Amino acid sequence: MGFIYNGLPAHVIFGRGSIAQTAQLIGELGGKRALLVTTPNQADDARTALAGAEAIVAHFDGATMHTPTNVTEQALELVKSEAIDSLIAFGGGSTIGLAKALALRTDLPQLAIPTTYAGSEMTPVLGQTENGRKTTLRDLAVLPEKVLYDVDLTLGLPADITGTSGVNAIAHAVEGMYARDGNPVMTVLAERAIGLLAEALPPIIENPLDIPARERALEGAWLCGTVLGSVGMALHHKLCHTLGGALNLPHATTHTIVLPHALAYNLPAIPDVGARLERILRGDPAQRLFDLGRAIKAPAGLRDLGMAEADIETVTTAALENAYWNPRPLEREGIRALIARAWAGERPA
């Protein structure tokens, strides 16, 4: 067995009440004129949580799904006009993605404060959308210098976002287990992460204030993000990037629906990984992940998100263009069939 392990730099602060360290962390980044980046829905929560951070001199509340480049340009104007020297991202993948896009263009340091389980904060990966097409890049310039995890910030996360962002995180770890550049370190992290999230998500849906379950989910999300940032992804992520960029479907929910089907397609080519996942999930992994989607009350089919049946062919063609590496060869009819099942909300084959 041979492999290459390339560890990414990371400074993680994890624990209840750690939001109180924000001002200190901005100072450690050299920040004196920081921009706070959020979505419209989280703007008030961010301002309240970070009220004591005097270095914050401007706010941009327009982060949105899939990081459209025109939104990045709007935020960049604010960065220039306010002489911003550091970035604070408060929120989920949309917010953190925008801060990354700004860092790519300005080389400003970032403090990421995740409030969902997206995991983007631990990766040097940026996905951007322009003219309906989503592309991704990998560059250490977009990796946040500091990441702060405070479970208290996740207690108000709505149940639907909690569940789907958690399964989105699981998708990172699942694909990391059979990545072309995978290694034993990432496999260990992925196994722990998947187990933590699969155990934690259903109880959180029943009781959103279950703090021990929230802590397990947040740790799992951190580890899933670490896996995503360290190794490459495959068919599942290509499909979700295609669906998100072309049809503007909600990111985490799309991942939740597609994951069981993409994994079922690949399982014949990855028997060792399948056996590991079967042990962790206590059953056929594709079926158990489909059941997890039902346990968190997520939509079962892409048509529930507004995707038209006619889009199945379009997405199939796009998924085969500039395809990601995948452990099983990409066969058009097989890919089309899995997209069709995901569209209809059927169980994975």
Q: What local confidence, expressed as pLDDT, does residue 261 receive?
A: 98
Asked if residue 221 is part of any domain, the answer here is yes
Asked if residue 3 is part of any domain, the answer here is no
- Is 166 in the same domain as 148? no
- Is 113 in the same domain as 192? no
Asked if residue 1 is part of any domain, the answer here is no
Q: What local confidence, expressed as pLDDT, does residue 2 receive?
A: 83
- Is 304 in the same domain as 196? yes
Q: What local confidence, expressed as pLDDT, does residue 132 receive?
A: 79
Specify the residue for token string 């914050």. 56
- Is 136 in the same domain as 237? no
How far apart are the C-alpha atoms of 338 and 55, rounded to whole Å? Answer: 49
- Is 147 in the same domain as 19? yes
How far apart are the C-alpha atoms of 346 and 349, rounded to whole Å? Answer: 9
Asked if residue 148 is part of any domain, the answer here is yes
- Is 183 in the same domain as 308? yes
- Is 142 in the same domain as 192? no
Query: For the chain, first and last CA: distance in Å?
Result: 32
- The full DSSP string for 246-293 is HH---HHHHHHHHHHHHHHHHGGG-HHHHHHHHHHHTS-HHHHHHHHH
Segments forming the whole domain that contains residue 26:
12-154
Instruction: Tell me the angle at which helices 311-320 and 235-247 cross, rounded to the nearest 10 degrees.
Output: 130
Residue 111 maps to which CATH number?
A: 3.40.50.1970
- Is 202 in the same domain as 186? yes
**How many domains does the chain fold into?**
2
Q: What local confidence, expressed as pLDDT, does residue 4 receive?
A: 84
- Is 30 in the same domain as 150? yes
Asked if residue 237 is part of any domain, the answer here is yes
The Cα-based distances of 265 to 235, 249, 280 in angstroms read: 9, 22, 19
Q: What local confidence, expressed as pLDDT, does residue 183 receive?
A: 95
Angle (nearest 5°) at CA 148 between 169 and 179: 30
- Is 200 in the same domain as 170? yes
- Is 165 in the same domain as 308? yes
Q: What local confidence, expressed as pLDDT, does residue 345 receive?
A: 98
How far apart are the C-alpha atoms of 214 and 200, rounded to whole Å? Answer: 7
- Is 61 in the same domain as 202? no
pLDDT per residue, tens digit, the chain (349 aa), is 788 888 899 999 999 999 999 999 999 999 999 999 999 999 999 999 999 899 999 999 999 988 999 999 999 999 999 999 999 999 999 999 999 999 999 999 999 999 999 889 999 999 999 987 888 899 999 999 999 999 999 999 988 889 999 999 999 999 999 999 999 999 999 999 999 999 999 999 999 999 999 999 999 999 999 999 999 999 999 999 899 888 989 989 999 999 999 999 999 999 999 999 999 999 999 999 999 999 999 999 999 999 999 999 999 999 999 889 999 999 999 999 999 999 999 999 9
Residue 195 maps to which CATH number?
A: 1.20.1090.10
